[in-house]
Each structure stands twice: as C-alpha cells, then as structure tokens.
Structure 1
Amino acid sequence: MFVEDIKNDFYNVLLGNRVLLIVHYDVDAVCACKILQDLFKCDNISYTLVPVGGISELKTAYEENNEEIKYVVLVNCGGTIDLVDILQPEEDVVFFVLDSHKPTDICNVYSDGQVRLVYKDDEENIPNFDDIFRDDDEEEEENDDELQGADRLEAVVERRRARKAWEERRHTLMFNYTQFSYYGKPSACVALELAVRVSRCSAAVLWCGAVGCTAHAALYLRPPARCLLDAEPLQRCLAHSTSAHVVVAKDAWLPLYRWWSVEGALRHAAGLAPRLRLHNSSGATRLRQLLADMGFPLQQARQSYRSMDVELRRGLLGALEAAAPKHKLSAPTRPAFLLQRPHAHPLAALDTVYACMALIEHDTIPRAEGFQRALAALEVCGENEALKLGVTSARRSLEAVARLAQGVLSSRGLLLAGPFNYFIVQEGTTESTSVRGPLWLGEAARWVASATGGSRPLLASSPLANGQCLLLGVPPRYDQEPRNLFGAAFEQAAQKSGASVILDYVDTSVIVLPTSQRTQFLDALTALLA
C-alpha cells in the first residue's frame, strides 16, 4: 500500500520506536540515508543502519537485526521484490519502502499494511487489483451445487473458459508492467520533501537532495526532462545565507574539473570525451583543437584548474559553449547545484557524486567502510577528508574507465552478437580492479555505447572473485530513454541456457554468473533477443 501522508503516516509512526534502516549501496541511497539520519538525530529516534548490496544481503541484514524491531525502513532496496514472501516477518512488523527502482512488486503495492510504500511515482502504470488477484473458486463451486446435469457441466466449462481468459489477460498485464526496469524519482528528493514537511530543511539536507538528484542525471538513470522535474521542488527550497548554502548556477558538465585540470576533465568526461573519439590516433589532435578553439593555451589547460589564469577560469563556460557546436559536443554546460561555503571554493554536486561512487566501490576499502565514508563526504562544514579521499579515488577510477573504453574501441574489443554489442574486461588488467562493481562498469559501458552512436544495446562484463563475473546491460539511446529490457531478458536467458546465474542485484539489469558459463549464457541471450 502507498503512504498518503509522508509526515503522519510514515515519519510520525517512527517516533519513539527503534528502527532498522537498511540502505542500498548507491549514491542516491547514501544521500537519502544521510537526510533520514539527520531527522532521526533531531527527534532522538534510535536506529540500526545496515548497508546492503543485494537481495541476499537484505535477507541476512533483516534476520540478524530484527530482534525487538517493529519498524524497518528500506532505502533503494526491497521495492521490486515480494518482501513478506522473502523475509517471512512477524505479522506486527511494518516495512516502509523508499525505493527508486521500478517497477514496484505488485504484492507490495496491494499489501494490507505490512508493506507501506513511501512514494508513488506518476510513471508507474500499476494494474488494477481485480485484474491481478482473483479468489472466486469457492463461491463458484457453491453456485454449481445448485445446478443439475447439463446445466452444471456447462457452468463448469464456462467458468474454466472465463478463468483462462482472465489468466491470459493477467499474463499480458504483468508482462507489460514488468518487462522494463527503470528508475523513479530519486529517494533523496523524497526524503527532502519529508524534511520540508517536518520543518527541518537545513543546508545539509538540501545538499544531500542536490547530490542525489544530480546522481540520477549524471548516471543517466532518468530521462533529461524527468531530471529537470525532479530538481524543480529542490530549487524552490534554496535560500542564500552567509554560511554554507546551496545554489543553482550554470556550470561545466565536466567531472572534477575544479580538482583537476581542464584538459584532464575533458579527457575523462564520459559525456563529452567519446564525441571527441579520443580512442582514434587523431583523438589527441581533436582535443588540442578544441582547447585552441576555446582560447586555452595547452600549458594553462594542463595545469591545476585553481592555478590557471583568473581570466581563463572566468571565461571557461562561455568558451566551452562557443566551441562545442564545431566539435559536435552536446550540452557542455547546464544548470547545476553548487555548495557555497565561506572561505572555500564552490563544491559541485556532480563532483560529490563521483566521489561517493569511488568510496562505495573503492578498490581497497571494504564496501561497508566505503559506505560510511561516502556518508561523511556529504558533510557541508569543516575540512572533509572523506570527500578528498573520494575525489582522489574518483580521478583514478575515471582514468581507468577512460583507458578501458579507449582500449576496447581501439583494439576491436567491442564484439557483435546479433541484437547487441558487448565487451569483456580481461582478468588481471590494471582496469579490472577499478571497474569490478556495477557503478564504474556502467560508466565504462555508457562511454563505449556513446562512442559507437548509442543506437544498439550493449553488455559489459568484468571479472569477480571465485571464477565469477559481473554482467550488466545498457539500453539503446540510454541518454534519452533509460528504460532497460535486459532485466527480464536475463531472467529468461538464465532459464533457457541452464547457466548458474545469480539474480541477486536490486537493479535487475546486473547479474553474476560463472565465467566458464558466460559464452553459453550470451548465446542463449542472443537467440532470445534475435
């Protein structure tokens, strides 16, 4: 069931109770978690926080922490699975689900109150209850007892015909409802709305909402028009002050350029660099020509942004916009969220997104610790060592993504399999440790897809431990319509191929399978989608 009043039917219910807070490993979930933590702290709500990476971890987290817990809040996990069936909770346990992954499981939608969905997205075309659930066998059998002979036989035949027609209609409705996986409104934006309702909308809360909203735009989880609509309520809450505050301003859509050089940011921007075809032998020449058209001397463009000539820094946005059409670069600047702090450089929400990604999927820090550091990176006051670590790690990860994508494109590592393209990250390469998780592997996949025109779906695979590999799918034209068909296709291909596929990720377009069975699985997927 859906919560009608986010304040009274969700937050006020938690007051005075201990809460189990289960949060997924992604940037939007980290931001929403940070907002909820601030609210819980203000109202002395005690809670246990457990980050999870998939359905099995979700089940383990609940089983290990459910003693004396009556209220469970799930952020970006749990919405797409039948929670009651999988977790088998006591009848008095209530689950509040704040999940941007769609479509929502139909059993959660029509739960009698044990599962309560905090937000209903306008995009969800949820089938009607009577079209999905039916319980009329006993009543029909009683009616049959009143009939005799041929009339009774005719009634039975008619009932079976109606039942079959209903089942076929139900199958069609459920197929249409579940065939695509996609993302709804960022959970951080919903958590921000809650903070506004309870009158606790601080700069820290606004910043978390801004980063969560930017994450969906930067990772192409929502169509561009939807991203603008998601950001609009957030912009209404912004207010200037002498202390830390969030503003909306036109900014270059380049990753970490304030922490890097202009050339370095252009070279590693997944949204712009593929258009420059840096994987070709003439790619470096095109990049130098772009900088020349911008009026940026190579010596200036290669040094730290903060050490550049002041006039060049001030003219960066105008120079980018003027040079972009000649090089067919789309939207090099756009309205963006910035954190303004006294006596400090502006901090871009886009940079914080990449920093959090790098901390969550750090190559040496355990995920649980990386999650805590990502929470710390969202702090708005004081020296933020976690953010600095995240930025340093993000630069290394972006460099690895660029090397991987350019290597795939230049060495003919992009393979054609009928209805889709795919590439495989080889085990033992320097890039394999940086892109072993879905966040950075997805970034590399989108880079390759963009460089090849983006009109075909694409699969990317990276090695994991114990002879397994990660496989994820990117839909065609992901930058305009990111609805993903691969989730349903993976499930059907797993059944047809007989491969030992692990369908554990919250995002169904990401799976794990034995490396030895990858070819077998891809053959089945090719036959299915052909």
Structure 2
Amino acid sequence: MLVSDLRKEFYDVIKGKRILVLVHSDIDGICASKILQSLFRADHILYTVVPVKTRSDLVSAFEQHREQARYFLLLNCGGCLDLVDVLSPPEDVKIFVADNHRPLDVCNIYNGDQVRILSQLGEDEEVPAFEDVFREEESEDEDEDSDEEDGKRRRFDEETLERRRARRQWHQQRHKIIFDYTQFSYYGSSTAMLMFDLAWKLSKDNNELLWWAIVGVTEGQVFERTEQDRCVLATGTLQGHVSRLNHQTQDSQPLDCLRITFEKELKLALYRHWSLVESMRHSLYASTTLKLWTLRGEKRLQELLAEMGLPLVQCRQLYSGMDVNLRQDLRSLLEEKSEKYGLPDLLFPSFSASRGFRIKVGSADYVYSAAALLEPPQKDITPTAAALDVADCLAVGREEVLERGIEGSKQQLSAIYRQVQTFLDMNQVISAGPFLYATVIQGTPDAWFFSAPHCLTLLARFTLRAHVSVSRGRKSGALPLVLTSPDVRAAQPDTCLVCGIPPTSEDSRRNFFGKAFEQAAEKTASRAELEFFDTNIIRLSVDDRSKFFDALISLLS
C-alpha cells in the first residue's frame, strides 16, 4: 500500500511502539537512518537499527528480531521483493518500506494491510493496474479440481474450455506486463531526503539533519545513480531549506556551529584534501575527457594549468598548502578554460559544510569518504562495523573518522586508476557483440578493492568511459559493459562478482542487466547468487562463467 501522509500513516502509528529498522549498507540509507534516529530520540521511541548488505542478511535479521517488535522499517532494501512471500511475517506485523531501488514489487504496492510503501513514486514510474496483475480464481480452481476428478468420465463443455482459454490468455498477458515493468532497474528519489521532509513537517529539522539529507542526495549525483532532472529538483528543494536554516549572520551564531552553504562545486574527487593534479587524474570526468593516462593527455593537462597561470609546484602539493590567492581563484579559472578543453560540465551545484576554523568540506567529499569506509581494505572489519564507521563519519565533530575515510578513498581511486590503465594498455576491454566485457585477473594486487560491489561499479564506469574516449569505433559508445572480478572477500572459494552498466550514449540511468543476469543464470543452471539489492551485480561461480557469458550474449543479441 502506498502511504500518502508520512506523519499520519507512519510516524503517528509507531509512536509509543518499538520499531526495528533494517537499513541497507549504502550512504543514502545510513543518512536516512540517522535522521530517523534523531526523531526517535526526540519522541522517546524505542528502536533497534540493524545494517544489512544482502537479501540473506535481510531475512536473517528479520528472523532474529521478529519476536522483539511488531513494527519493521526497511530503508533502501526489500522494496523490490515480495516481502510477505520472502519474510512470511505474522499477521500482526506491519512492515514499512522506504526504498530508492526501482521497480518496486507490485505485491508490496497492492498489499493493503501488512506492507506500506513510504517512498513517493515519480510521474515516470508506471505501475501496472491491479486488475492486470491480480485476479480472483477460486471458482476456476474448483472447476479445475472437479474436472480433474471426473476427466476420464466426461468431456469438458464449451463454457469450461472458453473460461480456461481466457484464463490462459490473461496469464500470458500478465507475464508480459510484469516483464515490461521489471526489465529495467533504476533508482528513485533519495530516502534521506524523504526522511528529512518528515522531520521538517514535524518541526524537528535542523542543520545536522539537513546535511545528512544533502549527503544522501549527493550520492546519487556523484555516482550517477539518479536521473539528472530529479537531481536538479532535489537540489532546488535543499537550497530552499539551506537558506531557511542558515539565514543568520555568522556573528550571531556560535563559533563551532555547523554552517551549510550552497555553491558551485568542481567535479574533481577530493580536491580539497589532495593535490590538484592528483585529483584531476583520479576524477572520472576530467581523467576520461583529457585522457590523462596517456602522454598526450598529461601534456594537455600541463597546458591547461599553464593557461590558468598555476605553477606546477603549486598544483602538485596539497590543496591546503597552495597559495591563498590561487585557491580563491581556482574555480573561476577552471570555469573560464573548461569549454576550450572539452570540460563544460566541470562545475555543478552542490553544498559544503564548515564548523569553526576547520577546513570547509563538500558534500561530495563526505560521499567519497563514506563509500571508502563501507568497503574498507582491512580484512578484519565486518560489514556491520563498516556501516557503523560510516554513521560516525557523518556525525558532526567526528573529523578523525572522516579523514580516515578520505585517505581510504584516495587508495580506492588510485587502485581504480591503475586498473583502468592496465585494461587499456593490455587491450583487455573486448567486444562480445552486444556488449563489451573486461576481467580483473586473479592475483591482481588491487583485487581486494574490486571484490566489493560499490568499488566494482566505480571501476566499471571509469573503464567504459575511458575505453569509449580512446576507441576508434563509433559503436563503442552504444555498447554496455560487463565487468568481472575475483571475489576474494567471499567465504566460498572460486567465485567472482559480475557487474553490468548501461552504455555511455544513453542519458537514462535505467539498467537492463539485472533481468538479463537472472535469465542467463536460470537458462544455464549456473551457480549464481542474486543476493545484492543492486540487481546489476551478482556473485557467480568461476567454473560457470564461460557458459553464463555465452547465454548472456545469446539473450542480448
């Protein structure tokens, strides 16, 4: 059931009750959970938060805690599953779902009692009509049973045959409607933004909650998960809240107060915490546009810096150590030269936070830091501990955790850059006909980074953009990419992760690989685990990889 009023149909319902919050280990979900925790503490609502990473984690956490609570909230997980079928909840259990994964399961949308969807559907999200996917068939089943019992003693009459023919046609039509609805996976609006909207309506919003909503929205921008028009609308809404909550002058606020500003931000990864040259080299947009892994690209970068009047000595040291005047003029200088060097989208509207005399930190910096903390290079950190680190990183006043995440992100981005350079130098991005594919070789020193879903997706996007930028064939821009990497983090040996991303020529963020992977695995009886909530990533047995790829080529041809 779709909930229209979050305050009346969700928050007022759980007041005075105990609620279990199952949150997906992604940045938007953790930001949403932190906003909710602030509201729950203010209204003395008992709650338990459990991070989950896969579908098995979701089922396990529900089974473990089902006796403790009658109200469950799923953040960025479970919306695309038939929850009543998967979880088998008792009749008195109510499950609230706020999930940015799409498409939502039709059984959850039309469940009128146990499952309640908090997420708002966009105008472009067309849900099949109830009568097209659900049908009362009790009387027909009774006819079928009686017919089976008496099948040898009497012949079917024309009315029964016609009814069965109509039912068969309806089932065929239903299968087509469901397939058309579920064939593409994509992302909806930010869940953190949804929860901040609830806090605003409850008059319990503040700058800290607003910052978490901003970070949640920025994740969709930085990692290109959300449609561009949806990002623009969300940014406009957040800008209004920033103006409302930060209208006081700096003199009238405490020195250590969190202050948020809206400004144009450079599309350069961690440039405030890195040198300008390293930031440009490891940023997907600048690096693939200028082809910075080539000698010609390196010379073009030096030309750009020279035209801006920036000495190489300044650009190769940390941003905080650059001359003050150069730092102040950096954005305007880059904006002036961006068109000439093919970087028209180098600046984008974003937000930054400052507190006291500490360095200003952009919302994109928080996203990169949190993403690195979610998938740490240390082998002894559990997924739950990693999610708690991200929650600490987002808390105001925990700069040491933020800095640790930023250093981890630098390692992550450096590993991605090295691997992309290896792919291109060794011509390892190969056309399979309907798609491109590349494989991270077993034993690669950086394989640990790529055995995590988020980092593997970043590597896939960087690889595809880089390959298209150097490819002479016009067709490469219209081909998607499938990337595999050894899953060295997995408990079971001889498995790999498979990730699929859409082609660069498409502006839409919709991804068809989730359904394609499912069909290829079913067709070949491959040992595949469709465990991740991001369906374009699966875990696959290495022994089944060749036949899985053959089936995938056959399906997409």
| TM-score using structure 2 length | 0.91
Query: Does residue 516 in structure 1 map to residue 543 in structure 2?
Result: yes
Change (3 A) 1:478 1:35: farther
Task: Quote how far apart the aligned CAs of 1:131 are.
Answer: 0.6
1:182-221 superposed matches below 5 A: 182-221=186-225
Deviates more, 1:417-426 or 1:225-234: 225-234
One-letter amino acid of the structure 1 residue matched with residue 480 of structure 2? P
Query: Does residue 447 in structure 1 map to residue 454 in structure 2?
Result: no
Query: Does residue 138 in structure 1 map to residue 139 in structure 2?
Result: yes
One-letter amino acid of the structure 2 residue matched with residue 277 of structure 1? K
1:66-81 superposed matches below 5 A: 66-81=66-81
1:425-464 superposed matches below 5 A: 425-453=440-468, 454-464=477-487
One-letter amino acid of the structure 1 residue matched with residue 42 of structure 2? C
Query: How far apart are the structure 2 equivalents of 1:293 and 1:402?
Result: 26
1:52-71 superposed matches below 5 A: 52-71=52-71
Query: How far apart are the structure 1 equivalents of 2:416 and 2:451?
Result: 11
Deviates more, 1:434-443 or 1:350-359: 434-443
Moved over 4 A (4+): 139-142
Cα contact 1:397–1:435 (8 A) shared by 2: no
Equivalent residue, structure 1, for 2:373: 359
Query: Does residue 328 in structure 1 map to residue 337 in structure 2?
Result: no
Specify every segment of 5 or more residues in structure 1 that has no aligned partner in the other structure, as ranges. Answer: none
Task: Quote how far apart the aligned CAs of 1:140 are.
Answer: 9.7
1:391-430 superposed matches below 5 A: 391-430=406-445
One-letter amino acid of the structure 1 residue matched with residue 3 of structure 2? V
> SS where residue 334 of structure 1 aligns?
strand
Among candidates 153, 177, 181, match of residue 177 of structure 1: 181
Query: How far apart are the structure 1 equivalents of 2:235 and 2:10?
Result: 23
Q: Deviations over 1:431-454 (max 9, x none)?
A: 211222111111111111112334
Cα contact 1:220–1:478 (8 A) shared by 2: no
Query: Does residue 369 in structure 1 map to residue 385 in structure 2?
Result: yes
> SS where residue 402 of structure 2 aligns?
helix
One-letter amino acid of the structure 2 residue matched with residue 407 of structure 1? T
Specify every segment of 5 or more residues in structure 2 that has no aligned partner in the other structure, as ranges. Answer: 147-153, 469-476
1:147-162 superposed matches below 5 A: 153-162=157-166
Query: How far apart are the structure 2 equivalents of 1:498 and 1:267?
Result: 42
Query: How far apart are the structure 2 equivalents of 1:294 and 1:440?
Result: 33
Equivalent residue, structure 2, for 1:339: 353
> SS where residue 452 of structure 1 aligns?
helix
Change (3 A) 1:479 1:26: farther
Task: Quote how far apart the aligned CAs of 1:499 are.
Answer: 1.0
Task: Quote how far apart the aligned CAs of 1:166 are.
Answer: 1.7
Task: Quote how far apart the aligned CAs of 1:177 are.
Answer: 0.4
Query: Does residue 301 in structure 1 map to residue 315 in structure 2?
Result: yes
Equivalent residue, structure 1, for 2:326: 312
Instruction: Tell me the percent identity.
Output: 39
One-letter amino acid of the structure 1 residue matched with residue 320 of structure 2? R
Equivalent residue, structure 2, for 1:348: 362
Cα contact 2:494–2:541 (8 A) shared by 1: yes
One-letter amino acid of the structure 2 residue matched with residue 254 of structure 1? L
Task: Quote how far apart the aligned CAs of 1:151 are.
Answer: 13
Task: Quote how far apart the aligned CAs of 1:182 are.
Answer: 0.4
> SS where residue 447 of structure 1 aligns?
helix
Cα contact 1:486–1:508 (8 A) shared by 2: yes
Query: Does residue 229 in structure 1 map to residue 245 in structure 2?
Result: no
Query: Does residue 251 in structure 1 map to residue 278 in structure 2?
Result: no
One-letter amino acid of the structure 2 residue matched with residue 518 of structure 1? R
Query: How far apart are the structure 1 equivalents of 2:84 and 2:283?
Result: 43
One-letter amino acid of the structure 2 residue matched with residue 378 of structure 1? L
Cα contact 2:268–2:279 (8 A) shared by 1: yes
Cα contact 2:429–2:467 (8 A) shared by 1: no
Cα contact 1:220–1:479 (8 A) shared by 2: no
Equivalent residue, structure 1, for 2:511: 484
> SS where residue 552 of structure 2 aligns?
helix
One-letter amino acid of the structure 2 residue matched with residue 39 of structure 1? L
Q: Deviations over 1:319-361 (max 9, x none)?
A: 1112222221241111111113222221100000010000000
Deviates more, 1:190-199 or 1:459-468: 459-468
Query: How far apart are the structure 2 equivalents of 1:471 and 1:18?
Result: 39
Q: Deviations over 1:21-45 (max 9, x none)?
A: 1111111111111111111111121
Equivalent residue, structure 2, for 1:274: 288
Query: How far apart are the structure 1 equivalents of 2:353 and 2:408?
Result: 21
Equivalent residue, structure 1, for 2:82: 82
Task: Quote how far apart the aligned CAs of 1:152 are.
Answer: 8.3
Cα contact 2:53–2:383 (8 A) shared by 1: no
Cα contact 2:235–2:350 (8 A) shared by 1: no
Equivalent residue, structure 1, for 2:91: 91
Q: Deviations over 1:354-404 (max 9, x none)?
A: 100000000113221111110111122x35211111111011111111111
Task: Quote how far apart the aligned CAs of 1:480 are.
Answer: 2.1
Query: How far apart are the structure 2 equivalents of 1:283 and 1:434?
Result: 26
Task: Quote how far apart the aligned CAs of 1:418 are.
Answer: 0.9
Query: How far apart are the structure 1 equivalents of 2:56 and 2:443?
Result: 28
Query: Does residue 119 in structure 1 map to residue 119 in structure 2?
Result: yes
Task: Quote how far apart the aligned CAs of 1:19 are.
Answer: 1.1
Query: How far apart are the structure 2 equivalents of 1:471 and 1:10?
Result: 38
Query: How far apart are the structure 1 equivalents of 2:97 and 2:285?
Result: 32
Q: Deviations over 1:398-429 (max 9, x none)?
A: 11111111211122111211111111112222
Query: How far apart are the structure 1 equivalents of 2:482 and 2:346?
Result: 27
Change (3 A) 1:478 1:442: farther
Query: How far apart are the structure 2 equivalents of 1:528 and 1:52?
Result: 32
Cα contact 1:180–1:488 (8 A) shared by 2: yes
